């Protein structure tokens, strides 16, 4: 069935995920939804120095929000911060240097952040697509460490801070690529068989959808959502998927178009009128499975994913100095 899933997803993508798909969908947007002043509210955006993360941070800053940029590369992050401040006139932009593939670093950051700041909205945007199997210094497969475990640890570590606030939200930037993957808890670090970075990434993005659904059940006073930005022209797409980029570059969305639904989920009152735990595309909840694609997983597998991630999380928390 994988050929079927891949074909259906690509055809769907050509129709909906490109710039023309955004332009068609946006005809039905209500501009007032995002004409919101969010001064006094605090937002944390990971992977915020470029692409969809930076576009999201910029739009929130433009609306008066306090924005915490979480980035891995200090030099690029400082440039991005300066550009956001200059473009928006908002001085309440704070920079934190954290490698989301390093679980100990995430724990240290989260513990410090909780003592120094408040948080209304967490936006999990950082991600990677490594095309050859690569291990981090902790022996973790790098895609899994960044996209899944990093997202899990940062979110769960900051939940107590979010729980203190009214209208708290968590948004995770996933991908429509997850539609071609069924949750696989037997090989979370992709050590078996041939390594295909694109499919590993898609599996991680399926895992993020499951995480969001599980968190929504467990934490009723926080609004969780996960979304697909469409196919956007970002540095990550250009570097990780050069063949795809060359083929599609004239049809890709802008970074701002890719970020539009993230911003809508983060600031609009309309978003939280919808149930927590849904998957969004162009400001609308959409199915998390293709018709006839056999990608549904049993509840036991979803519970197993949460258990394994919690075990990893606690292991790295207990060995975090400081």
Query: CA-CA distance, 295 to 293, in Å (whole number)?
Result: 6
The two beta strands, 222-228 and 284-285, are unpaired
Query: CA-CA distance, 294 to 290, in Å (whole number)?
Result: 8
Query: CA-CA distance, 273 to 284, in Å (whole number)?
Result: 12
Question: Of 232, 118, 141, which is closest to residue 188 (Cα–Cα)?
Answer: 141
Whether 196 contacts 181, CB under 8 Å: no
**22 part of the active site:** no
For residue 5, give both structure tokens.
């899933």
Cα torsion through 224, 289, 145, 59, rounded to 10: -50
| Residue with token string 């800053």 | 61
For residue 149, give both structure tokens.
């475990």
Secondary structure of residue 17 in the 3-state scheme: coil
Question: Of 119, 61, 123, 51, which is closest to residue 87 (Cα–Cα)?
Answer: 61
The two beta strands, 278-281 and 284-285, are antiparallel
Question: Residues 17, 22, 152, 201: which is the catalytic one?
Answer: 201
Whether 228 contacts 176, CB under 8 Å: yes
Query: CA-CA distance, 243 to 240, in Å (whole number)?
Result: 9
Q: Starting at the edge strand that comes first in sequence, how are the strands of the sheet with 93-97 ordered?
A: 93-97, 66-71, 42-46, 121-124, 168-173, 222-228, 278-281, 284-285
Active site residues: 201
């Amino acid at each position: 069935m994988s050929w079927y899933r891949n074909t259906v997803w690509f055809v769907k993508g050509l129709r909906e995920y490109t710039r023309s798909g955004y332009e068609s969908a946006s005809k039905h947007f209500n501009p007032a939804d995002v004409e919101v002043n969010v001064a006094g509210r605090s937002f944390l955006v990971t992977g915020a120095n470029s692409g969809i993360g930076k576009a999201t941070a910029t739009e929130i800053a433009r609306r008066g929000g306090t924005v915490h940029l979480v980035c891995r590369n200090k030099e690029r992050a400082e440039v991005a911060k300066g550009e956001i401040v200059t473009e928006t006139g908002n001085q309440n932009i704070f920079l934190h240097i954290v490698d989301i593939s390093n679980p100990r670093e995430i724990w240290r950051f989260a513990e410090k952040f909780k003592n120094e700041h408040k948080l209304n909205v967490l936006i999990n945007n950082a991600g990677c697509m490594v095309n050859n199997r690569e291990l981090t210094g902790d022996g973790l497969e790098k895609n899994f460490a960044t996209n899944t475990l990093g997202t899990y640890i940062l979110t769960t570590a900051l939940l107590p801070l979010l729980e203190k606030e009214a209208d708290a939200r968590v948004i995770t930037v996933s991908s429509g690529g997850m539609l071609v993957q069924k949750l696989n808890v037997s090989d979370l670090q992709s050590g078996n068989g041939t390594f295909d970075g694109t499919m590993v990434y898609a599996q991680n993005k399926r895992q993020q959808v499951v995480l969001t659904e599980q968190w929504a059940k467990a934490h009723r006073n926080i609004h969780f959502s996960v979304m697909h930005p469409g196919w956007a022209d970002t540095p990550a797409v250009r570097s990780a998927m050069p063949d795809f980029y060359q083929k599609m570059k004239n049809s890709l969305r802008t970074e701002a178009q890719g970020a539009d639904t993230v911003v809508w989920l983060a600031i609009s009152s309309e978003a939280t009128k919808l149930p927590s735990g849904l998957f969004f595309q162009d400001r609308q909840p959409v199915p998390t499975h293709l018709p006839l694609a056999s990608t549904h997983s049993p509840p036991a597998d979803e519970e197993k994913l949460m258990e394994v991630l919690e075990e990893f999380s606690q292991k790295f928390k207990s060995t975090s100095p400081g």
